[in-house]
């Protein structure tokens, strides 16, 4: 029996950003499948409605891949795919599999020889990189930095050195309620001429993206508390 296709379906990064997020092909895709693997069923159903889903929600089969379901067998998530039905994978924000636990589902799909199709959509890291003015030829996304203050300070200095050595843009992030503390550490540990881009609430109504040398950022007042933010540093010389 021919297996189904796993479609990776991006979702909005911010509230009221649906019109910026859903392509015509994505809309056609969500209206051609009835089964989804999602992080949160409530928000996934809302995203599908915003995308223009015409199928009655009662006819959808939703597999919950939330934090309480991880670590257990992945077999139940692949029943429909093995039977030939296509399935959509959705994360809580942005692209499935990128800084997202859905990567485990994608890896398992490859092990099972199931076709994986990534759809075009918003991605905080790439959009921040695009808007930063930094090198897009060489870049690295580190994800979350250490929570321990000493380890975090060392990691920031290491990233700055890597950026200078390889002329490589370094991207990282933090849990939104700790953004201000991370910004404070970056400004404390980086050299004044190192460039820092702060990309906050990308695609949101209060989107904020700005690049300045660290020395000038130290004179600015920015409140990033509880705002999804990507930090980028670049030290060319």
How high is the pLDDT of residue 106?
97
- Among 118, 152, 167, the domain boundary falls at 118
**Kind and range of the H or E run holding 87:** strand 87-90
In this structure, are residues 89 and 9 in contact, taking their beta carbons and an 8 Å threshold?
Answer: yes
Is pLDDT above 80 for 72?
no
pLDDT per residue over 2-50, tens digit each?
Answer: 999 999 999 999 999 999 999 999 999 999 999 999 999 999 999 999 9
Q: At what angle do helices 149-166 and 179-189 cross, to 10 degrees?
A: 60
For the residues 127-136, what does the mean pLDDT come to?
Answer: 97
- The pTM of the full predicted model, rounded to 2 decimals, is 0.93
Which CATH number covers residue 15?
3.40.1010.10
In this structure, are residues 171 and 165 in contact, taking their beta carbons and an 8 Å threshold?
Answer: no
Q: Same structural domain for residues 45 and 108?
A: yes
Q: Same structural domain for residues 145 and 104?
A: no
Count Cβ neighbours within 10 Å for each residue of 53-85 and write b for 16 or more, e otherwise.
eeeeeeebebbebeeebeeeebeebbebbeeee
Q: Same structural domain for residues 168 and 98?
A: no
Q: Same structural domain for residues 108 and 149?
A: no
Q: Same structural domain for residues 39 and 80?
A: yes
| CB atoms inside a 10 Å sphere around CB 166 | 13
Q: What is residue 159's three-state secondary structure? A: helix
pLDDT per residue over 89-130, tens digit each?
Answer: 999 989 999 988 899 999 999 999 999 999 999 999 999 999
The number of folded domains in the chain is: 2
């Amino acid at each position: 029996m021919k297996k189904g296709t796993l479609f990776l379906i991006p979702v909005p990064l911010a509230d009221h950003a649906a019109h910026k997020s859903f392509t015509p092909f994505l809309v056609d895709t969500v209206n051609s499948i009835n089964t989804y693997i999602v992080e949160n069923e409530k928000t996934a159903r809302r995203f599908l409605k915003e995308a223009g889903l015409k199928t009655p929600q009662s006819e959808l089969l939703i597999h919950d891949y939330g934090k309480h379901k991880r670590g257990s067998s992945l077999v139940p998530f692949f029943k429909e795919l093995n039977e030939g039905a296509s399935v959509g994978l959705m994360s809580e924000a942005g692209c499935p599999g990128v800084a997202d636990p859905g990567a485990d589902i994608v890896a398992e799909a490859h092990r099972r020889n199931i076709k994986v199709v990534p759809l075009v959509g918003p991605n905080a890291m790439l959009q921040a990189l695009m808007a930063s003015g930094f090198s897009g030829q060489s870049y690295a996304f580190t994800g979350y930095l250490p929570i321990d203050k000493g380890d975090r300070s060392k990691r920031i200095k290491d990233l700055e050195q890597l950026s200078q050595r390889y002329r490589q843009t370094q991207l990282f992030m933090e849990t939104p309620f700790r953004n201000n503390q991370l910004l404070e550490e970056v400004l404390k540990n980086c050299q004044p001429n190192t460039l820092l881009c702060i990309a906050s609430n990308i695609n949101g109504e209060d989107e904020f993206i700005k690049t300045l040398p660290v020395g000038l950022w130290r004179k600015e007042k920015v409140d990033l508390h509880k705002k999804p933010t990507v930090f980028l540093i670049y030290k060319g010389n």
